[in-house]
Copies of this chain bind each other. A is one copy, B any other.
Amino acid sequence: MSEVTWSQAEDEVAKAAFMRAYERETNALIQEVNEQTGMITELNQVWRLHDFLSARRHEIDGKYDYRYPVLVFVLARLVKEGWLDLHELDGLEPDKLTKVAALTRM
């Protein structure tokens, strides 16, 4: 994958989609945290919230990696997880779209 080139137009499509997915996922997290904090009545729920945040932070930090050699995999994962619609990647070269679509079915 490290040999794959991205045109400027493709880069713009990918970056916009990437940022949109990030916005959606982090907004969903903000909402979830707001909901969870109001439900806490016991200490073990505090620690469960802490565990949840540790896991989400680690996951989000690792996932949003905008580097060309991994970008098709990253975009496919975002589609698979529902943060992106495949159509939001319209404008990428057909071979990349095919690859993303194939990866989302794995």
Contact = CB atoms under 8 A, between A and B. Distances in A.
B47 A40 contact: no
Interface of A: 26, 29-30, 33-34, 36-43, 45-47, 49-50, 53-54, 57
B40 A30 contact: yes
A93 to B, nearest CB: 32
Contacts of A26: 43, 46
Contact of A43 (B29, B34, B45, B49): B29
A50 B40 contact: no
A40 B34 contact: yes
A72 to B, nearest CB: 26
A5 B50 CA distance: 38
Nearest to A25: B43
A38 B38 contact: yes
A50 B53 contact: yes
Contact of A38 (B34, B42, B43, B47): B34
Contact of A33 (B30, B40, B54, B57): B40
